[in-house]
Amino acid sequence: MAYNLLKGKRGIIFGALDENSIAWKTAEKVHEEGGSFVLTNAPIAMRMGSINQLAEKTNAKVIPADATNVEDLEKLIDEAQEILGGKLDFVLHSIGMSINVRKGRKYTDQNYDWTHKGLDVSAMSFHKLMQTLHKKDAMNEWGSIVALTYMAAQRVFPDYNDMADNKAFLESIARSFGYFYGKDKKVRVNTISQSPTPTTAGKGVKGFDGFIAYAEKMSPLGNATADECADYTLTLFSDLTKKVTMQNLFHDGGFSNVGVSQEVMESFQ
């Protein structure tokens, strides 16, 4: 059901890889709600994924960009405004990567070159993106910037590895930049802390199936799906959340506030 929530709004969506990704679902729903946007991903991810199908479906242009490269971001933001015909109203940062996780290196045995790369892609890229938008004055007043995160930023999930540190840094950047962006341009910046979600990226975490089943049993409303996360993201892009900023918003069926659930207790009794 469409409400025309984003009619006339323009933006950039980072990180749509395939139809399982939250960014992909968000793009589809933004399109349904009347928003127009440019899609972007790293050149290597674009070769692996199927972003061109999404572009066709949502009438969007694709601009490859390495989100850790400021020159790429400058070019992306200039081109996006040209294509869309003006300043931006929303941006989704849906990017995260850990080479240590991918290559099975334990948290206590990191390859620091990989750690550094993961930190740059997963968190520093968010600062680089906002700094570039801010310097270019590319956002309309009351615009909205959202990044996706996970609760491992606050609590330990052993197999989430160095991604936990990346997400903690990401959330801190959202608060810090959110202060300045709010003061200067009335732009709001938030992170959504989503349930574990079976995206291509999510499934790369060791023991992911167990992870999902546990979260499902711990959450009174059950895990939030990628589709539901896209819906929540829309509300943050819309004018209905104008005064929500610098928040880390848990979208997890209640998981983050549950100490233990009846179902989990029963498996120990």
Per-residue pLDDT of the chain (269 residues; tens, 9 = 90+): 789 999 999 999 999 999 999 999 999 999 999 999 999 999 988 887 799 999 999 999 999 999 999 999 999 999 999 999 999 999 999 999 999 999 999 999 999 999 999 999 999 999 999 999 999 999 999 999 999 999 999 999 999 999 999 999 999 999 999 999 999 999 999 999 999 999 887 877 778 888 899 999 999 999 999 999 999 999 999 999 999 999 999 999 999 999 999 999 999 99
Our answer to whether residue 150 is catalytic in this structure is yes
Tell me whether residue 61 is annotated as binding: no
Q: Please check if 106 is assigned to a binding site.
A: no
10-266: CATH topology is Rossmann fold (3.40.50)
CA nearest 101: which of 81, 115, 90? 115
Contact 21, 94 (CB under 8 A): yes
- Is residue 95 marked as binding? yes
63 is in an annotated binding site: no
pTM greater than the 0.85 cutoff: yes
DSSP code of residue 248: E
C-alpha to C-alpha distance for 41 and 79, rounded to whole angstroms? 14
22 is in an annotated binding site: yes
- Choose, from 3, 107, 112, 160, the residue flagged as catalytic: 160
Question: Among this protein's residues, is 179 annotated catalytic?
Answer: no
**Domain spans of the chain, in order of start:** 10-266
Strand order across the 36-40 sheet: 61-62, 36-40, 10-14, 88-93, 139-149, 188-194, 248-251
Catalytic residue among 3, 107, 150, 181: 150
